[in-house]
Amino acid sequence: MLLLEPFQYDFMIRAFSAGLIIGVIAPLVGIFLVVRRYSLMADTLSHISLLGVAIGVIFKVFPYLSAILLSTIAAVGIEKLRTTRKIFGESVLSLFLSGSLALAIVIISLFPGTNINIYSYLFGSITTVTQEEIVVIFGFGVTIVLAVFIFFKELFFISFDEELARVNGLPVTLLNFGLVILAALTVSVAMRAVGILLIGALMVIPVVTAFQYARSFTQAVIVSVFFSLISVVMGLYLSYYYNVASGGMIVLIALAIFVLSLILPHPVHVGHRK
């Protein structure tokens, strides 16, 4: 049977395992970034993760570890600069995005032997995910889901109206730091599966698509995760049978679903005004 054929291979079982976890956490965190018009944060953190991977490869440190550590520190720094009001949020993101990418390119060029290792992180290579990486993805995936579930109302509040949340006594600054750290963790653990250059798309496209159909924010969360999982599953099947890059195919499926959402009739959506 064609649907079951990929599962006779261990590497495809690992690929689907990693893909399903990432398919859940990417839009789960991404929806809060989209609502607060902070979508570029995902792309910025992905480029910072590339720098972390480059540093990890050079110093023979587990790339996941170096990427998670650097992107988390950078996320906190970005949020700190944003809250000082001295630099606009978009400008802060552009500074970190271009700076980290430039530094990563320089480091990679100084150590040519790292190109092969970094290629799979750049464009994604979910079919080569190891059992150790599955453990890392699962561990951080569960942590992210639990954190969003526990602080869902608070994250919703600060995303839609930060000032009102502060007036109501919520620890807005702490919650903001928590959100960007969750974004950093999501990007870092998903980079091998979807690719550093594409993970931002998986965090944003299913969310934007979901807002075309959902009548409430909670529905938007559920629908975005559903669209994300559909994209991952279909992308993996197509990449297996047609021998194409899995990360690119996953994002193309997500984009195709978004285009269909613009064409097909749908109910009044919730929008994402602050």
CB 172 within 8 A of CB 11: no
Tokens at 273, concatenated: 């005004």
How far apart (Å, rounded) are the C-alpha atoms in residues 80 and 217? 27
CB 257 within 8 A of CB 212: no
What is the structure's pLDDT at 272? 46
What is the structure's pLDDT at 11? 85
Tokens at 267, concatenated: 């109910």
Tokens at 86, concatenated: 């001295």
**pLDDT tens for each residue of the chain, 274 residues long:** 667 788 888 888 988 999 999 999 999 999 999 998 888 888 889 889 888 888 888 888 888 888 899 999 999 988 888 777 666 657 778 888 888 888 888 887 887 766 556 777 777 777 778 888 889 899 999 999 999 999 999 999 998 888 888 888 899 989 999 999 999 999 988 887 788 878 888 999 999 999 988 888 999 999 999 999 999 999 999 988 988 888 889 999 999 999 998 888 665 544 444 4
What is the structure's pLDDT at 274? 42
Q: DSSP letter at 37?
A: T
What is the structure's pLDDT at 233? 94
Neighbours of 8 (CB within 10 A): 8
What is the structure's pLDDT at 139? 93
Rounded to the nearest 10 degrees, the angle between the axes of helix 40-58 and helix 172-194 is: 60
What is the structure's pLDDT at 174? 93
Full set of structural domains in the chain with CATH: 5-263 (1.10.3470.10)
Which residue, among 154, 195, 191, has the nearest Cα to 175 in the 3D structure? 154
The region, left, alpha or beta by phi > 0 then psi within -120 to 50, assigned to residue 232 is alpha
State which H helix or E strand residue 33 sits in.
helix 10-35
How far apart (Å, rounded) are the C-alpha atoms in residues 244 and 260? 23
